[in-house]
A and B are shown apart, each in its own frame.
Chain A
Amino acid sequence: MKKVDLELAVGFFLLLGILSLAYISIKLGRLELIGGGGYPLYAEFTQAGGIKEGSVVEIAGVQIGRVKSVRLSDYEALVEFTINENVKIQEDAIASIKTKGLIGEKFVQISPGASEEMIPPGGKIRDTESAIDIEELLSKYAFGEV
């Protein structure tokens, strides 16, 4: 009898382990099983260096969405975001690619504008600031003098 109890307990914990593993992998992999709430927005950058699928989109340091895809369009980077349903973005907002800390990961920061008009789902954030290439800037101004 005792042996059965032990096996049951082991089985129970094993199941618990598998479930937590599944939960962790879904969380970490940012899988959206239920389709994920939010509406799409687009922005074009001349340099999207470091931004990839899953990168965070923030306003004032608060996450309001994620990058859904990054692809090339007319030799510029076309980035698609999924923005939380309850966050509306003004038509004159600016999307900038920023770095967490000095060498941290890249994220997209949106600074809200003054316009009364909001960007409809599927619309585009017109004003963008691309990733700043610190190395390039350094070489330009440190070694530029000939």
Chain B
Amino acid sequence: MRTLGERKLLFFFTLICLLLLPVIPGQANAGDPTEQVKQTIEKVREIFKDKNLKKPENREKRDELLREVVGKRLDFEEISKRSLARHWRKLTAEQRKEFVSLFSDLLETTYLNKIERSQEEDIEKHEEDKVLYQGERIEGRYASVKTTIVTYKGTEIPVEYRLIKEDGEWKAYDIVIEGVSLVSNYRSQFNRIIHSESYDELVKKLREKTIKEE
């Protein structure tokens, strides 16, 4: 038998836990799209600023961290679906799964290689870059967040994130840089390859590309 004091303590403890419960996840997906995009961008910038991760031997660890942080904010299935467009409907569930993993690998390696190839000093210079948040628009489960990156040189690059809401999290399904959409770019490329060759050929190409780049 517990004493009354102990019981009261236990009761209060559970009560506090219950009260906190909705607050903690609520903070994690803190409401609006801009806030969530900002969180991810800030996390990425922190990774690049981390002195420890800058060491060449920690490159892989940094890549891993970047992959995790950015991957969480991207909806790879939606990106793949939209990039394949009409051809997506003809695929079986298994093929879709395979394609999503191949395409996300391709995107990851393409961008990580770009970082790999640039000099550490150049990356450091870009720590001075500013990101301006220029408003958001929400329409049902879709939203867009407009930002402008002002580089240390003063060049302005408009970047728009197009987001879809999934379980309270806003996830990007397209990124429009300087007016050029990522999905639209891959959509026309994939369409061309599938038409002139075949879907299998496209998968083969993606596979070769991810292996070669690694």
Contacts and interface: CB of A to CB of B under 8 A. Distances in A.
Interface of A: 46-47, 92, 94, 96, 111-114, 116, 126-127, 129-132, 137, 140-141, 144-146
B181 interface: yes
Contacts of A132: 178-180
Interface in B130-147: 139, 142
The 3 A-B residue pairs whose C-beta atoms are closest, nearest first, are: A114-B88, A144-B155, A94-B184
A56 B154 CA distance: 37
Contacts of B174: 127
Contact of B86 (A112, A129, A145, A146): A112
B85 A112 contact: yes
Contacts of B88: 114
B188 A111 contact: yes
Contacts, number: 57
A114 B174 CA distance: 14
Interface residues of B, number: 26
Contact of B154 (A112, A116, A146): A146
A19 B199 CA distance: 53
Contact of A111 (B89, B154, B155, B184): B184
A145 B153 contact: yes
Given A112-B85, A126-B139, A140 B184 contact: no
A112 B85 CA distance: 7
